[in-house]
């Protein structure tokens, strides 16, 4: 992947924002993807082509992003998280 994914968990104004930097474009502004819930953890799948993102809430979920397009591929809803 050429992307670096950052959460903003402790920023009260942006805790629901995923920030994505492209390491091939260090001078470019990062892309920000806003979700409905707090973004707390990102992890690549085995093949490295998807990023699984944990969203915390009483009705939390895991969002699966395509690493190349940053489009949502799937959502696993109904997960209780702290």
Residues 43, 51 contacting (CB under 8 angstroms): yes
Q: What is the pLDDT of residue 10?
A: 95
User: What number of CA atoms fall less than 13 Å from residue 63's CA on the CB side?
Assistant: 25
Q: What is the mean pLDDT of residues 4-27?
A: 97
Q: What is the pTM of this model?
A: 0.90
Position 49 pLDDT exceeds 90: yes
Spacing of C-alpha 24 from chain mean position: 19
CA distance 53 to 41: 6
Domain count for the chain = 1
Which domain does 74 fall in, by range? 3-79
């Amino acid at each position: 992947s050429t992307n670096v994914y950052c959460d903003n968990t402790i920023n009260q104004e942006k805790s629901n924002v995923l920030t994505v930097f492209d390491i091939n474009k260090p001078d470019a502004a990062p892309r920000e993807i806003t979700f409905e819930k707090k973004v707390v953890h990102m992890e690549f799948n085995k093949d490295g082509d998807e990023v699984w993102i944990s969203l915390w809430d009483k009705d939390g979920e895991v969002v699966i992003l395509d690493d190349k397009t940053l489009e949502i591929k799937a959502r696993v809803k109904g997960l209780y998280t702290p």
